[in-house]
Amino acid sequence: MRHARNAAKVDDNQRDVKRALEAVGAWVQSIGQPYDLLVWWRGSWHVLEVKDGRKPQREQHLTDAQLKTLAELRLCGVKLVRSGDEALAAIGAKAWPEV
């Protein structure tokens, strides 16, 4: 049984970010740890960390586990996003205009 204290905390806006990515045809998987989303878009993988832009800047930081993983893997392609628009820009996509 999984206890709530071990569950990864999901930012309130992650669902909206995921919907924006899927709306342009990206494949999106919530991975939770050490980062939030794994995205496949037009032949490239993207790793996104979602932070809630409505929170104070001091609360929008990477955790110690995330920083450790970055150091261990030398993974510098993780992108921090705060909205669907930032996520689309991070993967090089543009949202379709509303009609």
The pTM is what?
A: 0.71
> Highest mean pLDDT range out of 22-36, 47-61, 71-85?
22-36
| Amino acid letter, residue 60 | Q
Return the percentage of the chain with pLDDT > 70, whole number. Answer: 68
Q: Where are the domains of the chain?
A: 4-91
Separation between Cα atoms, residue 43 and residue 9, nearest integer Å: 29
Query: What is the model's pLDDT at position 75?
Result: 58
Question: For residue range 2-23, what is the model confidence (pLDDT) as tens digits?
Answer: 444 344 567 678 999 999 999 9
Separation between Cα atoms, residue 56 and residue 37, nearest integer Å: 22
Q: Report phi then psi at 96, rounded to 5.
A: -70, 140
What CATH number matches the domain at 4-91, 3.20.20.70, 3.40.1350.10, 1.10.3210.10, 3.40.50.410? Answer: 3.40.1350.10
Query: What is the model's pLDDT at position 19?
Result: 96
